[in-house]
Structure 1
Amino acid sequence: MRKIKKKKKLYSPDPKFHDVLVTRFVNHLMKNGKKNTAYRIFYNAMEKIDLIKQKEEKSSLEIWKEGLKNSMPNVEVRSRRMGGTNIQIPVLISSNNKMTRAIKLLIKCAVMRKEKSMANKLAYEIFDAFKERGETIKRKENLHKMAEANKAFSHFRF
C-alpha cells in the first residue's frame, strides 16, 4: 500500500494583520474552540511587544516572525529499534513541519513562564526568541545537540 499524501491546509488571513501565519499560530493557541479568546490573547501580546521593544525599529509582527524563525529546529531525532536497543536517528525536518514545531514550542514555553496573563507570557517568550535567548531557544539547541551527538546513526534513516 502506498502512503496517501496529506492535503495542505488552507488558512484564511486574520482580521487585523491580514496574515495567514497569524491564523495558523492562533489555531495552535486556541483551546476548546475559543478562537476569539485566542485572537485576543495574540493581539494583546502584540501590543505588549510594542511596549517592550526599546530601540527596535521593527513592528511587533516582524519581531514575532523573526522570533518564530529563530525558534525553528532544522533536525529532529526519531527512535528506531535496532537489535534490542533503541537508537536515536537524526532526521531533517520539512519546512512546513519546521514552522509547526516552532509554533508549538513557542506556545509550550510561553505557558510555562511565570507572568500573570497568557498575553504577557506569550509576549515575553516571543521577545526572548527574537533576542535568541529564553526557554524556546534552549530547547531548540538541545534538540540540535542531541541530533549532533547521534549523527553517527544518520545512515540508518530511510
Structure 2
Amino acid sequence: MVVNRIMKYGKKSLAYQILYRAVKKIQQKTETNPLLVLRQAIRRVTPNIGVKTRRNKKGSTRKVPIEIGSKQGRALAIRWLLEASQKRPGRNMAFKLSSELVDAAKGSGGAIRKKEATHRMAEANRALAHFR
C-alpha cells in the first residue's frame, strides 16, 4: 500500500528503491526495527474522525464530523505521511520519508499536525454532527 502511494508514472521499481532506502536510513538513525517504526508512525497518524462537506437546502455548506473506518484511516495516514515528507526540505525522497516516519513515530512532524488539525476541525463542528 505504501509503495503504490509512493509510485509515480507507473515506476514501481523506483518506488520500491525509495522505500528500501528509507527503511535503511531509519535502521541507521534509530537502531531499531524499521518496520516497527513504520507501523507506529502509521498508527500515530491514523485519524479517528474527519469532516465531510454537506450542503443544506438553502445552498450553504457545512463541515460535518464523521467517523473514519480503519481502512480509510490507514489510507489517509499513508497519504498524509507521504505529502508531509514531500514538503520537507532535504536531499532525496528516501531521506525525507525516513525523517518524516521517525518524527511521526515520536509524535511530531507534518503528518501529525495534519491529523491534529483535522481533529480540531471535527471538534469545532461537533454541533453539526446530526446532519450526517
TM bin, normalised by shorter chain, reads: over 0.9
Query: Share of identical aligned residues, percent?
Result: 38
- Structure 2 residue 34 is matched with structure 1 residue 60: yes
* TM-score of the two chains, using structure 1 as the length reference: 0.81
Whether 1:51 and 2:28 are equivalent positions in the alignment is yes
- Between the aligned partners of 2:109 and 2:82, the Cα distance in structure 1 is 13
Out of 38, 46, 71, which is 2:15 matched to?
A: 38
Equivalent residues in 2 for 1:10-89 (5 A)?
A: 24-53=1-30, 58-82=32-56, 83-89=58-64
| TM-superposition CA deviations, 1:123-147 (whole Å, max 9, x none) | 0000000000011100100000000
Larger helix share, 1 or 2: 2
Amino acid aligned to 2:42: L
Structure 1 residue ranges (4+ consecutive) displaced by more than 6 angstroms after TM superposition: none
Structure number with larger C-alpha Rg? 1
Which 5+ residue runs of structure 1 have no aligned equivalent? 1-23
Q: CA RMSD in A?
A: 0.9
Task: Give distance in 2, aligned partners of 1:107 and 1:134.
Answer: 12
Matching of residue 134 in structure 1 with residue 104 in structure 2: no
Q: Distance in 1 between matches of 2:20 and 2:39?
A: 14
- Per-residue deviation, 1:80: 0.9
By relative contact order (CA 8 Å, sep 6+), the higher-ranking structure is: 2
Report 1:117-132 matches (<5 A): 117-132=92-107
1:95-131 C-alpha deviation (Å, 9 max, x unpaired): 1101100010000000000010100000000000000
Structure 2 unmatched ranges of 5 or more: none
Number of matched pairs:
131
TM-superposition CA deviations, 1:7-38 (whole Å, max 9, x none): xxxxxxxxxxxxxxxxx110011001111100
Query: Once the 2 structures are TM-superposed, how far is the Cα of residue 84 of structure 1 from its aligned partner?
Result: 3.0
